[in-house]
Structure 1
Amino acid sequence: MSFNAILLEKEATTGFVSSLKSVSKQQLLAQQGDTLIQVAYSSINYKDALALTNKSPVVRQWPMVPGIDGVGCVVECASGRYQKGEQVILNGWGCGETHWGCLSQYAYLKSDWLIPLPNNLTPYQAMVIGTAGYTAALCVERIVDFGIKPHHGMVLVTGASGGVGSVAISLLARLGYQVTASTSKIDEAHYLQKLGAVNVIDSQTLKEAGKPLQKEQWSAVVDAVGSHTLANACAQTQYGGIVACCGLAQGMDLPATVAPFILRGVTLAGVDSVMASYDKRVSAWQLLSQQLDAQILANIGQTVTLNECVEVANNMIAGQIKGRYVVDVNK
């Protein structure tokens, strides 16, 4: 059996190459796993874009099939955890970095990495959500569990036009929070308002160095940007508020002071989606399946083929995309 997959290769003579290739089942089963999945859809996340363009050392083993997200049907499961035909979701666990991922028609994975597809989501909808949306749900749950209520004040979402931001806005709005969206794409304000944002601000106002303490504006923050944006968000968070940090689109540095944390009691909460526990994953996906409606997902998602992934990745790195890109691996 052979099938199509995007293969990333790096050789001393040819350098980095990303191409659509025919891959054998034997090559796939050389990966460490116990569950063979026939993939229906994958998606393109920022980490995938870095791998597809080789803009950052995301890939740790060569050759590599990228794709940190996938949804599909179980073909066989040696552990017995899943039955043939069950629909499952993969997010993270080093896929696309140290283990072949899901920008492929088949994937060979560990059953411990998988969760069942919620009954009220289609496979396509699950990949509109993907790791970006699942990460957003983890951030929102962190804010809710911290005790921030809608009446406590405005919630800021940075990187609002991206996948994490788009889903975070939708979830927060459905839960009754007032959301301010920060974006570099001010012409996309209508898109963000349709998702539930009540205010849209230019992200440039957060991107430069600011004062250690600034006017208190946010009861909570979902930040996918990092660097000065995260530092300013912390400096603007209300007394006792929380900043859920999950990304580094602007940079992985944090040019901040301790002032917001020791003078206002602000909590900076790191949110990891790659190695989150099974229970956290299931809880986040249940929140997503219950609170995101089909029309919102339709507004966020666009469908591309395996052949189009590199072009989308380049546009994503250049900051020229909005929403989520779902990959139909069978086209």
Structure 2
Amino acid sequence: MDNTFKALVINESTIGFTKEIKEKNLSELPKNDLLIKVSYSSINFKDALSASGNKGVTRKFPHIPGIDAVGTVAESNSKKFPIGSKVLVTGFDLGMNTWGGFGEYISIPEKWAVHLPAELTEKEAMSYGTAGLTAGLSVCQILQSSTVNSENGKVVVSGATGGVGSIAVSILAKIGFDVLAVSGKKENEYLINSLGAKEVINRNDFIEMYDSKPLAKPTFVAGIDTVGGAILSGMVKSTQYGGIVTCCGMTGSTEVNTSIFPFILRGVHLAGIDSVEASLSVRNLIWGKLSNEWKLSNLENIITEIGLEELPDKLDEILTGKAKGRYVLKH
């Protein structure tokens, strides 16, 4: 095993933050239960924030982002994960203040890892990554509502060309729901033919139609919001009696200003989705579904595989909202 590895390193200087591909030494990684040779990672909005120097995500620099990783255990102090085990890591502190999957090696506590499901390849696992886990948690949450089934009405999904949105649309279509996809991009063909959405609406039109009054026409049995702000408000206002809206993202806004009426007149539920600190039992449940009954046949339509050299530009794309689908990093 080499003592050095390549990584995308974010440095802080007097002129701001820079992204550089560098050689790092394994001795610079913290001592932990598992040393993992990373095969694939993927890019999430949180990675783009970290790479831009957002101190709310990453406090200390130099830093290696990457909140997702899959690979092989190279060194182990764990009976659960012996050397050679294929493992999957998403969330917790990986890529935030612990060096992450944009390096060829990571060092982590045992409790952050799960076994890679036998039904998934490493590339497939990172095609899902945190986005897939978050989408899966969102779908699981709405299915727990007694009023939600495919015969009762449509489900609306915002940020539908993004990572979480793309996978959520695809899962819902696979299990029989009609999906209205909300997007700021002109990607109707991609959303309908590649992901399985039934209809597409521009985000500004959605806001005008569903967020202009204290209560909108009860249209959707459920909603999955990935952006926040007025879109989330419009979803809540247009959800049917006893329906549910999940909230997991902030690419549009960190705030929501909405009406109390959907809650007190229709019994609408608003559920927050957190994939970072989800328990291992919940993670295993969702990964089990993603690798079996929810496994998508259209993953290749959602992902673009990239190398380390392409990573800086793709991070900028995600931060500015220009990305489509998922970027999977191959080491």
- Which category of TM-score, normalised to the shorter sequence, fits these structures? over 0.9
What pairs with 1:267-282 in structure 2 (closer than 5 Å)?
267-282=269-284
In the other structure, the counterpart of 2:42 is 43
What pairs with 1:42-121 in structure 2 (closer than 5 Å)?
42-54=41-53, 57-121=56-120
SS in 1 for 2:298: helix
Q: Partner letter of residue 157 of structure 1?
A: V
Report runs of 4+ in structure 1 exceeding 6 Å deviation: none
In the other structure, the counterpart of 1:261 is 263
- Distance in 1 (CA, whole Å) between partners of 2:185 and 2:171 is 21
Answer yes or no: is the 8 Å Cα contact 1:303–1:327 preserved in 2: yes
Structure 2 length normalisation: TM-score? Answer: 0.95
- Distance in 2 (CA, whole Å) between partners of 1:48 and 1:159 is 17
In the other structure, the counterpart of 1:312 is 314
In the other structure, the counterpart of 2:199 is 199
Q: Partner letter of residue 21 of structure 1?
A: K
SS in 1 for 2:66: coil
In the other structure, the counterpart of 1:183 is 183
- Distance in 1 (CA, whole Å) between partners of 2:269 and 2:261 is 12
Q: Deviations over 1:206-257 (max 9, x none)?
A: 3465212111111000100101110111001111000011001101101112
- Distance in 1 (CA, whole Å) between partners of 2:31 and 2:265 is 49
Cα gap change, 1:223 to 1:215, in 2 (>3 Å): same
In the other structure, the counterpart of 1:128 is 127
In the other structure, the counterpart of 2:19 is 18
Per mean C-alpha deviation after superposition, the further-off stretch among 209-218 and 157-166 is: 209-218
- Distance in 2 (CA, whole Å) between partners of 1:259 and 1:32 is 53
- Distance in 1 (CA, whole Å) between partners of 2:100 and 2:161 is 25
SS in 2 for 1:196: coil
Q: How many residues align?
A: 325
SS in 2 for 1:290: coil
- Distance in 2 (CA, whole Å) between partners of 1:32 and 1:253 is 39
- Distance in 2 (CA, whole Å) between partners of 1:276 and 1:302 is 27
- Distance in 2 (CA, whole Å) between partners of 1:33 and 1:137 is 29
Q: Partner letter of residue 170 of structure 1?
A: S
Answer yes or no: is the 8 Å Cα contact 1:174–1:291 preserved in 2: no
SS in 1 for 2:230: helix
Offset of 1:32 from its aligned partner? 5.2
Per mean C-alpha deviation after superposition, the further-off stretch among 168-177 and 268-277 is: 168-177
- Distance in 2 (CA, whole Å) between partners of 1:66 and 1:130 is 14
Answer yes or no: is the 8 Å Cα contact 1:118–1:285 preserved in 2: yes
Q: Does 1:241 align with 2:243?
A: yes
Q: Deviations over 1:124-169 (max 9, x none)?
A: 0111111011100000000112231111210000000001011001
SS in 1 for 2:22: strand
- Distance in 1 (CA, whole Å) between partners of 2:93 and 2:54 is 18
